[in-house]
Each structure stands twice: as C-alpha cells, then as structure tokens.
C-alpha cells in the first residue's frame, strides 16, 4: 500500500505521508519531527512551551 500526497508545509511531494498528531496535517518526512510526532510547525510551537 502506498501513501502519497502533497506536504501541507513545504507543498512538495510527500511519500510517505506523515500525519501530525496535533494539527492532523499531512507532511513529508522532511517536515515531520519524529521525536515529537509532530509536523515542523507544531514542533516549533512545542519547543516554545506553547
């Protein structure tokens, strides 16, 4: 099964697609923070301590 789509952060081709557990955005592996399980945008927010 192939999961493909468009990254909602960089707009690039996303394969595989990662889903942010906070905002639910579909992002590519480059825009996904594996440590936090969040997209790059939410990871930046989380680092600031919300």
Distance, in Å, from the CA atom of 31 to the CA atom of 50, rounded to the nearest integer, reads 19
CB of 40 to Zn ion, least distance (A): 8
CB of 16 to Zn ion, least distance (A): 12
Count how many Cα atoms sit within 13 Å of the Cα of residue 36 in the half-sphere of its side chain. Answer: 17
CB of 37 to Zn ion, least distance (A): 10
Handedness of CA 23, 29, 31, 35 (dihedral sign): positive
Q: Of residues 7, 17, 18, 26, which one binds Zn ion by CB under 5 A?
A: 7
Is residue 43 at the binding interface for Zn ion, with CB under 5 A as the rule?
no
């Amino acid at each position: 099964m192939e999961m493909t789509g468009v990254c909602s952060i960089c707009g690039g081709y996303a394969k595989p697609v990662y889903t942010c557990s906070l905002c639910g955005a579909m992002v590519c592996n480059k825009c996904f923070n594996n440590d936090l399980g969040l997209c790059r945008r939410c990871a930046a927010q989380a680092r600031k301590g919300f």
